[in-house]
């Protein structure tokens, strides 16, 4: 969804929601959301690549 909003050029209207989503996705991926300390494995290579690209674009 974040990727679609950016491609459409309307991400500025959803900036706060995008930031919250990115923070949650980063914490979940790193395992911090559940307090497990383990990384969450994404279901596909495409999901991992997209998450990596979006997080890098936003400074994570």
Look up the pTM and report it: 0.57
User: Do 6 and 22 form a contact (C-beta atoms < 8 A)?
Assistant: no
The tens-digit pLDDT sequence of the chain (60 residues) is 787 888 888 888 888 988 898 888 888 777 754 555 555 566 778 877 888 888 888 888
Of the candidates 5, 7, 23, 20, which has an alpha carbon nearest to the alpha carbon of residue 60?
Answer: 23
Crossing angle between the packed helical segments 15-30 and 45-57, to the nearest 10 degrees: 130
């Amino acid at each position: 969804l974040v990727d679609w909003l950016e491609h459409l050029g309307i991400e500025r209207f959803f900036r706060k929601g995008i930031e919250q989503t990115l923070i949650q996705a980063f914490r979940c991926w790193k395992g911090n959301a559940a307090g497990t300390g383990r990384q969450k494995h994404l279901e596909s290579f495409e999901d991992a690549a997209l998450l990596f690209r979006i997080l890098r674009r936003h400074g994570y």
